Structure 1
């Protein structure tokens, strides 16, 4: 059985950790190996590490399909010069007696939409941006996302959030807020003026807040080379990702409402579901707080 997973980054690590939680020591070893390899390769790509061997030599050294280990491949990174970057390609695991092949995809959600897979993992952000229509009312959680998906548009649904949560959070300078006001959705609905966001999150922010709350709001964006929290502090109000909020506070910002969880999710194409994929999906979602479907 094949399951689509991201090729790199936090969503891939979260997916591998979920398999480790249900499949034991071999899956734990795989998760640790892949995470350490790709973190090192990311550092090489960004110039924080210098590799002794060339990228093809490293690729051959990392990949061990004959010995039951993972395979890796190369993609062109979007950074200046488009360097080649090592990313996850595939691996096999035994999950409760089921032979599962993890297959790396740039955007697993889209692979599920085209019926290549019955199960896969991807970012909740991508699902929200791809298939949730813009409505006057916003969305707040993963259940809202499923409720907004048009069944005529896709057979894919979110079944479980993995809890590796970074949140899209409202931030503001204290003087932007009237005395006693809460920095929440209601405040944005009554606000008129600039709202600073990263341009890649424009449609996501529109879907999360709802178009009704954005009347009179003008999106502005950080200048090149300026970090998002600094740009929000300059603007007065904005939305960006937070984990602890430490960087925002360093810029004098007040943290407001958490708008939407940016977490990795388990996805299912309902048209491709079989008894075997359904059983695996339930096993992967067992014990996770943000499960959407009933057991």
Structure 2
């Protein structure tokens, strides 16, 4: 008889797509992964205002549902943060057959916190949130996923990172060339810098963990205004940190791209106190598709 293991996953966005892509490599769920990803991309386009839906959210929710199929994905409605707080369709749950074990993917707004409160033994979330929540701040910064568990105080949480999924977008240093004056844009440059460092709001603790408290002692964190692009705000302040894939937008504002400080990547996590033989098997299954990357924590 198949065992069912609940796993906390994000409700939308790049992290959920990364989870579905990983599962599609180890289980026969390509159709499910494609269906969920395409549905949520369409819903994101509606949220962004680039697509005008023919039906309201309740009608769309009914269209996506198949109550006769227990294996079909389910969706739910959440209040969006846009003006008027409209309803938004997001992922709710799905079951993936992994042979002797079935994974019940359960959507959560904050999977990491659901693991911290012992609701789940396994879950996926952004590595950024681990840095923001529990990684200890130390004089030296950290630059890889493999260092995360070393910075978690066992008294704070039982959650540990197992492996990354490879959907890497880097927190990258950016600066105007006149500020550099020919110097390399790296951690050493920031260490010698005194003055503003432009970052996204609420990322102070993440940046302090990545750069280290010695580097950030003389830094003044500044933030983009609500209607400004992050790259534009960094150009105005001269120096900053922001997520980048190609860096094309940053270059449009005349910024130079420097050192990749830390990978913003979806990670598989476990609550060590909730584990067991079945959880270990699932961890091994979800980790086996990982090639030689910087993180294979056991």
Q: Which residue of 2 aligns with 1:264?
A: 266
1:115 to 115, 118, 125: 118
Q: Which residue of 2 aligns with 1:154?
A: 157
Would you say 1:137 and 2:140 are equivalent positions?
A: yes
Would you say 1:14 and 2:21 are equivalent positions?
A: no
1:75 to 75, 78, 81: 78
| Distance (Å, rounded) in 1 between the aligned partners of 2:68 and 2:186 | 54
Deviation of 1:57 after TM superposition, in Å, equals 1.3
| Distance (Å, rounded) in 2 between the aligned partners of 1:252 and 1:259 | 20
For residues 41-190 of structure 1, the aligned pairs below 5 Å read 41-67=43-69, 68-179=71-182, 181-190=183-192
C-alpha distance 65-162 of structure 1, shift in aligned 2 (>3 A): farther
* Counterpart contact for 1:163–1:290, Cα < 8 Å: no
Deviation of 1:277 after TM superposition, in Å, equals 0.8
4+ residue runs of structure 1 moved beyond 4 angstroms?
Answer: none
| Distance (Å, rounded) in 2 between the aligned partners of 1:263 and 1:66 | 36
Q: Secondary structure at the match of 1:199?
A: coil
| Distance (Å, rounded) in 2 between the aligned partners of 1:11 and 1:65 | 26
Consecutive unaligned residues in structure 1, runs of 5 or more:
none
Deviation of 1:65 after TM superposition, in Å, equals 4.7
Q: Secondary structure at the match of 1:20?
A: helix
Deviations 1:49-70 (A, max 9, x none): 1111221111111122531210
* Counterpart contact for 1:5–1:121, Cα < 8 Å: yes
* Counterpart contact for 2:125–2:267, Cα < 8 Å: yes
| Distance (Å, rounded) in 2 between the aligned partners of 1:64 and 1:126 | 34
1:280 to 275, 279, 282: 282
| Distance (Å, rounded) in 2 between the aligned partners of 1:291 and 1:185 | 22
Deviation of 1:178 after TM superposition, in Å, equals 3.1
| Distance (Å, rounded) in 1 between the aligned partners of 2:199 and 2:128 | 15
* Counterpart contact for 1:93–1:100, Cα < 8 Å: yes
* Counterpart contact for 1:132–1:145, Cα < 8 Å: yes
* Counterpart contact for 1:162–1:290, Cα < 8 Å: no
* Counterpart contact for 1:45–1:83, Cα < 8 Å: no
| Distance (Å, rounded) in 1 between the aligned partners of 2:272 and 2:189 | 38
| Distance (Å, rounded) in 1 between the aligned partners of 2:208 and 2:83 | 30
Deviation of 1:223 after TM superposition, in Å, equals 1.8
Deviations 1:56-92 (A, max 9, x none): 1111111225312100000001111111000000001
* Counterpart contact for 2:116–2:271, Cα < 8 Å: yes
Consecutive unaligned residues in structure 2, runs of 5 or more:
none
Q: Which residue of 1 aligns with 2:247?
A: 245
Aligned residues between the structures: 291
* Counterpart contact for 2:26–2:289, Cα < 8 Å: no
